Amino acid sequence: MEKFDIGIVGAGPGGYSAALAAATNGKKVVLFEKENIGGVCLNKGCIPTKSILHVSELYKKVKNIEIFGISVSDVSFDFSKVIERKNKTIETLRKGIELALKNAKVTVIKAEAEILDKNTIKANNEVFDCNEIICANGSSPKELKGLEFDHKFILSSDDILELETLPKNILIVGSGAIGIEWARILSNFGVEVTLIEIAPHLLPLADIEVSKRIERSFKSAKIKFLTDTGIQKVENGSVQLSDGNILTPQKILAATGRVPNCDHKIEGITYIGDAAGEIQLAHYAIKQAYDKTLNICYRKDLIPSVVYGTPEIAWVGKREQDLENEDYQKSIQLVSALGKAQADGETEGFIKLLVQNNKIVGAHIMCAEASSLLMQVVIAMQNNIDLDNLKEICFAHPTYSEGIFEAIQKLA
Ligand SMILES: Cc1cc2nc3c(=O)[nH]c(=O)nc-3n(C[C@H](O)[C@H](O)[C@H](O)COP(=O)(O)OP(=O)(O)OC[C@H]3O[C@@H](n4cnc5c(N)ncnc54)[C@H](O)[C@@H]3O)c2cc1C
């Protein structure tokens, strides 16, 4: 029986990052993957959706390009080519990870693995002895009672990536990141979208102001949504909503969360990423991988969240509703006041900072480049940089980051 320092189950961002980090630091590593290297993130999640989203946004932009003084006629799209491009993007990235694993001398076993105990993994009828085991076997789409996936009419986030043609209309259930991003994608491509959310506001985990602004944004993009609304019954292609309305969508996308793939945890095994059942984000899985293999610590309260689309939404730290009973200052800068936003025609959105004791405790950004912009604030928060210090920084002009500067200047 071959012996390994570390055995890792699952080659998503958590598993492959742990494997690369450990192997490049001299450990003998075996990594098991039953489907594709890259996991959900690369094959069914972050990357495919962002690839399709990007094309849908380009399509929408080109259709409305006259506002920039450019004339284009007969704008159309070929969905099969959109999917082809998405697949190529995945393949390119997957090859990169496979090469990195090979260069780091990670033993990759393409098979379903079973963890027998804290030192033993079984795969392909072989048993692997490991000094330490990391389980990074991810999560799967959650099924709601009465809304079970039939993979044809009621789709999961995996199924929707398999569509060869777009429906005329769709009902999306759940307005978390996946629901919001697919609502944007499909609406950009001209699909009539109805989004329903059981909570009182869209994107219920976000700062309340972000939720309200995304609702405004959806209204102006003519994306229908209903809040405080659930599903009563789905029968013969018709959907009865909790408010009594009956819909007959061509498809339903159930974007109602994900459940960890490990149904029981074995003592002595380290669980990371979606399998750990905490924060289900690729960058959190990666952070945990570095923590468990190289002892590089991280602050769990500073894990950023991003929801993609135009405009992007990104946040970190405390939300206004978390501070209800505390003293805090708030500053909001509308991006329409920024030169760069006006020049780009990307004027929708705002930057909101929440401050306590002269330090930023929460940032909520909704605008072009919000995902990258947020990281400037995360770095400041992680390093305990206070407002006086931030005020001394020279922000380049014209940039969206000037919005952060303006928001800081407004704070006493
Ligand atoms: C539509 C969608 C969009 C998303 N967008 C984003 C985003 O923009 N940003 C973000 O941060 N996160 C996003 N996520 C979440 C992100 O994909 C996950 O948080 C991330 O993939 C978790 O990484 P992981 O390594 O824990 O597990 P996974 O990526 O799920 O990988 C687990 C791997 O384990 C393998 N496996 C399972 N069981 C076994 C076994 N017994 N033997 C061998 N292999 C096994 C699986 O095949 C899989 O490849 C999105 C998710 C979805 C569904």
Report yes or no: 172 and 328 within 8 Å, Cβ to Cβ: no
Instruction: Kindly tell me the burial class for residue 253, based on how many C-beta atoms sit within 10 Å of its own C-beta (0-12, 13-18, 19 or more).
Output: buried
What is 2-139+259-294's CATH number?
Answer: 3.50.50.60
Report yes or no: 328 and 334 within 8 Å, Cβ to Cβ: no
Looking at the domain 143-256, which fold is it?
FAD/NAD(P)-binding domain (3.50.50)
Q: DSSP labels for 159-222?
A: GGGG-SS--SEEEEE--SHHHHHHHHHHHHTT-EEEEE-SSSSSSTTS-HHHHHHHHHHHHHTT
Ligand 1 geometric centre to CA of 286 (Å)? 11
Residue 77 corresponds to which amino acid? Answer: F
Q: Candidates 46, 122, 288, 293: which one to mutate for ligand 1, based on the most atoms within 8 Å of Cβ?
A: 46
The yes-or-no verdict on residue 69 having pLDDT over 90 is: yes
Second-level CATH architecture of 302-409 = 2-Layer Sandwich (3.30)
Task: Decide whether any atom of ligand 1 lies within 6 Å of the 45 Cβ.
Answer: yes
Ligand 1 geometric centre to CA of 208 (Å)? 28
Task: Decide whether any atom of ligand 1 lies within 6 Å of the 122 Cβ.
Answer: no
Give 290-308 pLDDT, tens digit per residue: 999 999 999 999 999 999 9
Give the model's pLDDT for residue 263.
83
Give the model's pLDDT for residue 412.
74
The mean pLDDT of the chain is: 97
Long-range CB contact pairs, 338-343, < 8 A, 24+: 338/398, 338/399, 338/400, 338/402, 338/403, 338/406, 339/397, 339/398, 339/402, 340/398, 340/399, 340/400, 340/402, 341/367, 341/368, 341/400, 341/403, 343/398
Ligand 1 geometric centre to CA of 341 (Å)? 34
% of the chain with per-residue pLDDT over 90: 99
Please state the φ and ψ torsions of residue 306, each to the nearest 5 degrees: -135, 135
Give 232-258 pLDDT, tens digit per residue: 999 999 999 999 999 999 999 999 999
Give 160-185 pLDDT, tens digit per residue: 999 999 999 999 999 999 999 999 99
Q: How confident is the model at residue 405 (pLDDT cuts 50, 70, 90)?
A: very high
Q: List the residue whose alpha carbon is closest to atom 12 of ligand 1.
A: 281
Start-end of CATH 3.50.50.60 domains in the chain: 2-139+259-294, 143-256
Task: Decide whether any atom of ligand 1 lies within 6 Å of the 37 Cβ.
Answer: no
CA 197 to CA 307: how far, in whole Å? Answer: 16
Q: List the residue whose alpha carbon is closest to atom 27 of ligand 1.
A: 138
Residue that is written with structure tokens 């094959």 in the block: 43
Bridge partners for 367 per DSSP: 312
Give the model's pLDDT for residue 119.
98
Start-end of CATH 3.30.390.30 domains in the chain: 302-409
